[in-house]
Amino acid sequence: MKNIIIAIDGHSSGGKSTMAKDLAREIGYTYIDTGAMYRAVTLYCIENGLVSNGELNEEKLKTLLPGIEIRLQYNPATGRPDTYLNGQNVENKIRTMQVSDNVSKIAALPYVRKALVKQQQAMGKEKAIVMDGRDIGTVVFPDAELKLFITASPEVRAKRRVDELLAKGESVTYEQVLANVVERDRIDSTREDSPLRQAADALVLDNSDMTIEEQKKWLLTQYRNRIEQINGES
Ligand code: DC
């Protein structure tokens, strides 16, 4: 069967990664979480003193960026890739509120995007990937065979994120997380370089009132329909 690129974009904490990961496993594709790559650069900046009082030392980041090595390695126990930063597994560290609070600003920097987009395009060279992010269907793979745009209300997304963080033992409030979700939507959608927007040819899903099972089923159906269509064309 023909291998394709599946691009999944949408707002933060919209459940994209769960859907993408499950689909990839079901159809034997590689799942790539591009948000994790922006989070890893952010963690690097925090750990190396490049962020202080919310201010980023851009000159230093520009110099150090070529030495930041990010690798995604499949973890059979979780069924998703773990993120490695310069050889260290940082999968848990990149999901904290501190990283979430700083990541959108760093992801808005054109030189950071340029470096990561290049790596993402290389990862998709052989196709057979499900990649999720904000600009996958618009910038990274504008010719992806299947593009999906996933969203849900900010309140629903904040609630899901709070549950996730509390389960991991982080102490957060719903108000704090909702403010972060709204602020990240604002920065991601209004930045100059590759803002979050729906590709004209993307299929849209608002999953506010859907269970994970329903979302999984919807996604698999879209994949099968697209493959059937491609087979019919050739
Ligand atoms: O999907 P996430 O919440 O882990 O993404 C973290 C941040 O990275 C998010 O605020 C936007 C940014 N991002 C991006 O700008 N482009 C991508 N392709 C993926 C994520």
**∠ CA(155), CA(146), CA(200), 5° rounding?**
70
Helix or strand run (H / E) with residue 225:
helix 212-233
Please report the pLDDT score of residue 108 as a whole number. 94
pLDDT at 85 over 80: yes
Please report the pLDDT score of residue 203 as a whole number. 97
What is the residue with the minimal CA distance to atom 3 of ligand 1?
A: 12
- Tell me, in angstroms, the distance from the centre of ligand 1 to residue 132's CA: 9
Is 120 near ligand 1, meaning CB less than 6 Å away? no
Q: Is the pTM of this model over 0.85?
A: yes
**9 beta partners:** 133, 149
Looking from the CA of residue 9, the nearest atom of ligand 1 is 18
Query: What's the rounded Cα separation, in Å, for the pair 173 and 170?
Result: 10
Is 180 near ligand 1, meaning CB less than 6 Å away? no
Looking from the CA of residue 36, the nearest atom of ligand 1 is 4
Q: What is the average pLDDT value for the chain, to the nearest integer?
A: 95
Radius of gyration of the chain measured on its C-alpha atoms: 17
Is 102 near ligand 1, meaning CB less than 6 Å away? no
Query: Stretch 169-189: mean pLDDT, rounded?
Result: 94
Please report the pLDDT score of residue 80 as a whole number. 87
Q: Is 233 exposed, middle or buried (0-12, 13-18, 19+ CB in 10 A)?
A: exposed
- Tell me, in angstroms, the distance from the centre of ligand 1 to residue 67's CA: 21
Residue of 13, 38, 183 with the most ligand 1 atoms within 8 Å of its CB, for mutation: 38
What is the residue with the minimal CA distance to atom 8 of ligand 1?
A: 35
Q: pLDDT confidence of 78, banded at 50, 70, 90?
A: confident
CA separation, residue 154 to residues 14, 17, 33, 179, 194 (Å): 9, 17, 21, 9, 21
Buried b / exposed e along 108-142 (16+ C-beta atoms within 10 A): bbeebbebbbebbeebbeeebbbbbbbbbbbbbbe
Q: Is residue 141 within 8 Å of residue 132, measured between CB atoms?
A: no
Helix or strand run (H / E) with residue 72:
strand 70-75
Supply 23's token pair.
Answer: 């689909």
- Tell me, in angstroms, the distance from the centre of ligand 1 to residue 38's CA: 6
Whether the CA torsion 197, 95, 84, 23 is positive or negative: it is negative
pLDDT at 79 over 90: no
Is 43 near ligand 1, meaning CB less than 6 Å away? no
pLDDT in tens, 18-72: 999 999 999 999 999 999 999 999 999 999 999 988 899 999 999 999 999 999 9
Q: pLDDT confidence of 137, banded at 50, 70, 90?
A: very high
